[in-house]
Structure 1
Amino acid sequence: MRHSRLIPIGLLGLAATAAHAQSAVTLFGVIDQGLSYTSNAGGKSQWSMAGGVLQGSRWGLRGSEDLGGGLKAIFLLESGFDASTGKFTQGGLEFGRRAYVGLTDARLGTVTLGRQYDMVVDYPGVYSDRAFGGGYLAAHPGDIDNFNNGYRTNNSIKYESPNYAGLHFGGMYGVGGVAGDFTRNQTWSVGAGYDRGPFSFAAAYMNVRNPNVSFFGNSTTGTPSAAATNIASPVYSGFASAHTYEVIAAGGSYKIGNAILGATYSNIQFSNLGDTANSGPNPSGYRGSVHFNNAEVNVQYWFTPALQMTAAYDYMKGSSIASTTGENGGATYHQGVLSADYYLSKRTDVYVMGVYQHASGTDSRNRPAVAAINSLTASTSDAQTSVHIGLRHKF
């Protein structure tokens, strides 16, 4: 009797062990903190503590379960925070960086559902200096093309293909969720990349309806409204009434010895301006469409396995557009970035970076353009410089 009772208990123990071996959950994170100097922040120089400059501070959980036959269930929960204050970032959302669940198969690819990055971020965005050297300060003015993944896509379904001899591709659709209007607030994007030896290349396209609400507003707390402008940067905050926001982008790199040469291009368009009922305010009375052309060149160089330096130059030009006060001739932005990163270990590094931006012409607010380095308080003049020194630890 005693033995007959022990056998099932033992089998249950073996089953629990087997189930545990087929599942895995990993805790991960980054803490990035440092000090910044800005030459002109709203008219005055500023010293401040700033976090997440090189890489956004975060913690998260990722997991997988083997379902058999090569199929796995996966999930990711990723929360951004500001180590200076302990507050959530991404507008105070608990898992504002990413949150999704899905299925993956080595032969068929991966499907995930939740709050995710678009294909512009995943494909050409990785070739921009913001991804490896300059952090969010090196993002293109206002992160206008989302290369810095400042904006995520809610309610999205995403597919990523397997790697076919260096070729990989994907697509994403963000459900608008408006009753009786299938296209309102929807987002979709497609992308593809190719890696072969020292050469890598990628391209992507993104289309967003009512972007002030559905895209630029999706990182705020509460329910974003078309009555307010959800775009902080003066580079394009005046175009909140656009019915559609589009990005066509490409990027690539080539490795030569200890150096990696890179370049990106993006064309950004805000079209059908004046949709104040569904998109956002239009104080300048803009009509038609406006577009920006952005080009970046960059270089990474490893002096030693522990010391990396990067440099980048970015140029962006906006087109002219009609307004109630006449024609807005558009703005031009020049930006240079220089950074150095030294690894104390595989998980801990110290870094320093400097960014300079110069603006000219007329910005989206129909005013003389001012320099506005990404995520900083805009300058009151046509120039702005920021220097940051930081410490990053990964776990």
Structure 2
Amino acid sequence: MKKSLLLIAACGIAPTAHAQSSVTLYGIVDAGFRYNSNAGGKSQFAIAGGNESASRFGLTGSEDLGGGYKAVFTLENGFTTTTGALQGGLMFGRQAYVGLGTPYGTLTLGRQYLTLSSYLGPFSSGTDWAARGAGWGYHPAGLDDVDGTERANNAIKYVSPRYRGVQVGATYSLGGISGNVTQNEMISAGVDYDGGPFRFAAAYLFVKNPNYALFGNNATSSATGNNFASPIFSGYASAASQQVVGAGASYTFGSFTAGGIYTNTKFFNIGGIAVAGAKPPAGEVGQTATFNTGEANLKYRLTPTLLLGVAYTYTRASSYNGKSGASYQQWNLGADYALSKQTDLYFVVLRETAGGFDSTGRRAVAALTFATPSTSDAQTGVTLGIRHIF
């Protein structure tokens, strides 16, 4: 308390007489082994950080302002355990926002998760137990952003109070471009229901210039190259806009939780923006590319300390120029063993197969999200490690 008062005095701020405030330091440290059966044609072994969960530390806090109002904030840093490098070179690359909680909902400003990922993420194995830190368990290329890897800069976010299990939310990210307030904007909205054993959510996302605004991770950038790194959708980096709609549900019965999620992702007006190093497939300029993704998953709490999980995901891309669009099938299998309330061991095996023709116009290859793509139609990934939460 004395240190807090000295800091307040040093900043020239007078403390409020009866204000109640709290600040919490939290974090995750994760490291282990990764294996990729075909990383550009060769098998790959590595010691890596952030396999099951991305390593991070953060500060979150609130101040009671009275009358049901409070000030809130979160500053969250991401880092690589094995090297200490910052996530994306940013001090607070994961989250950085401040806002106001009221009886009518919470409004926050800053770098934040989009509403779609906040509401749909809990229904996907890739954001639960399937190597979410490495990203290998995500939907192909993370193209629907259910995983929440792509945060929103310059964002205004609203979350309503929960009423009879129902909550609604929305996010608007300003583009920040001089003379064109909507150039790189992002709009997301959703609704969810938590009724005990049954949960449901539906959400929407619309992004202008997604290569820069969403996947470029910098809403004011317009000079970077192709940020659609995976061949699964790299041919569509020049799309003028992107739309995602989706829904998810889960039901818990005893020690089992069964869940499912569906998303429809569209890239509109391919070739509509200039992107260095991005060449649309022949005949695709001005067209719309569509990806439909469905996932079914099951978790089983075998013992109080051992969780088992299995999931199957199928993604199908639209056809073009008489070529069959790519299809991707992925199995995620995982186990998590708790050594304590804060420390656990994990083991996850992932297998992806591909068919048809991908966004580059070539035969589709397997490409686990954020892993080096395979040179064939199949790829297997394995992660094994330890995670500590504080």
Work out which of the residue numbers 31, 34, 37 in structure 2 matches 1:33: 31
Contact 1:227–1:281 (CA under 8 A) maintained in structure 2? no
Q: 1:19 to 1:30 in 2, by over 3 A?
A: farther
* 1:278 to partner: Cα distance: 7.5
What's 1:365 paired with?
Answer: 360
Please say if residues 237 and 275 of structure 2, whose CA atoms lie closer than 8 Å, have aligned partners that are also in contact: no
Q: In the alignment, is residue 193 of structure 1 matched against residue 198 of structure 2?
A: no
Question: What residue identity is the alignment partner of 1:36?
Answer: R
1:95-142 CA distances to partner (integer Å, 9 max, x unpaired)? 11010000002x211000001101111111210001221022210111
8 Å CA contact 2:357–2:364 kept in 1: the answer is yes
Q: Which residue of 2 aligns with 1:101?
A: 98
Q: What is the DSSP-based 3-state SS (H/G/I as helix, E as strand, rest coil) of the residue aligned with 1:123?
A: helix
3-state SS of 2:150 partner: coil
Q: Residues of 1 paired with 2:144 and 2:55: CA distance?
A: 22
Alignment check: 8 A CA contact 2:174 2:186 kept = yes
Distance in 2, Cα, partners of 1:120 & 1:341:
27
Corresponding residue SS for 2:288: strand
1:231 aligns with 2:250: no
Tell me how far apart the structure 1 counterparts of residues 150 and 39 of structure 2 sit (CA, whole Å). Answer: 23
Q: CA RMSD in A?
A: 1.9
The Cα shift of 1:277 comes to: 3.6
For residues 291-327 of structure 1, give each alpha carbon's deviation from its aligned partner in whole angstroms, at most 9, with x where no partner exists.
0000000000001111100000000000013xxxx44
| Aligned CA distance change for structure 1 residues 145 and 283 (closer, same or farther; 3 Å) | closer
Quote the residue 1:4 is aligned against: none
Match of 1:243 among 211, 217, 240: 240
Answer whether contact 1:253 1:260 (CA < 8 A) is retained.
yes
Change (3 A) 1:29 1:19: farther
- Once residues 312 and 176 of structure 2 are traced to their aligned partners in structure 1, the CA distance between those partners, rounded to angstroms, is 40
Q: Work out which of the residue numbers 268, 273, 278 in structure 2 matches 1:281.
A: 278
2:369 is the counterpart of 1:374? yes
SS of 1:138's equivalent? coil
Please give the alpha-carbon distance, in whole angstroms, between the structure 1 residues aligned to 2:315 and 2:207.
21
Q: Deviation of residue 70 (structure 1)?
A: 1.2
Q: If the length of structure 1 is used for normalisation, what is the TM-score?
A: 0.91
Q: Which residue identity is paired with 1:82?
A: T
Question: Runs of at least 4 residues of structure 1 off by over 4 A?
Answer: 16-21
Structure 1 segments unaligned to the other structure (5+ residues): 1-11
Aligned-pair identity in percent equals 49
User: Which residue of 2 is the match for residue 306 of structure 1?
Assistant: 305
Deviation at 1:20, TM superposition (A): 8.2
Structure 2 unmatched runs, 5+: 1-8
Partner of 2:81: 83
How many Å apart are 1:255 and its aligned residue? Answer: 0.7
The 8 Å contact of residues 213 and 279 in structure 1, kept in 2 or not, is answered as no
Shift of 1:232: 1.2
Question: 1:335 and 1:166 mapped to 2: Cα distance?
Answer: 33
- SS at 2:32 equivalent: strand
Within-5 A mapping of 1:16-31: 19=17, 22-31=20-29
Give 2:344's match in structure 1, choosing from 340, 349, 355.
349
Provide the C-alpha distance between the structure 2 equivalents of 1:210 and 1:278, rounded to a whole number of angstroms.
10
**Offset of residue 227 of structure 1:** 5.8
- The Cα of 1:148 is off from its aligned counterpart by 1.4
Offset at 1:69?
A: 1.0
Distance in 2, Cα, partners of 1:101 & 1:30: 22
1:1-43 CA-partner distances (Å, limit 9, x unpaired): xxxxxxxxxxx9xxx9975861111111000111011100011
Under a length normalisation based on structure 2, what TM-score does the superposition of the two structures give? 0.92
Higher deviation after alignment, 159-168 or 328-337: 328-337
Partner amino acid for 1:365?
Answer: T
Deviations 1:71-106 (A, max 9, x none): 1001100010000110012x211111010000002x
The aligned counterpart of 1:8 is none
Show the 5 A alignment for 1:207-222.
Answer: 207-218=206-217
Counterpart of 1:108, as a letter, is Y
1:126 to 104, 122, 125: 122
Tell which deviates more after alignment, 346-355 or 62-71.
Answer: 62-71
The secondary structure found in structure 2 opposite 1:82 is coil
Is 1:338–2:338 an aligned residue pair? no
Contact 1:211 1:279 in 2 (8 A): no
How far apart are the structure 2 equivalents of 1:226 and 1:238? 18
| Counterparts in 2 of 1:281 and 1:204: CA distance versus 1, 3 Å | same
Secondary structure of 2:247 counterpart: strand
Amino acid at match of 1:345: S
Taking a change above 3 Å as real, the CA distance of residues 187 and 268 of structure 1, as seen in their structure-2 partners, is same
CA contact (8 A) 2:336 2:345 kept: yes
Instruction: String of CA shifts for 1:347-393, please: whole Å, max 9, x gaps.
Output: 00001000000001111111111100011000010000011101000
**1: distance between equivalents of 2:207 and 2:289?**
15
Q: Quote the offset at 1:224 in angstroms.
A: 3.7
Q: CA deviation at 1:50?
A: 1.8
Q: Report Cα offsets for 1:179-208 as digits up to 9, x if no partner.
A: 232321000000000111211000100000
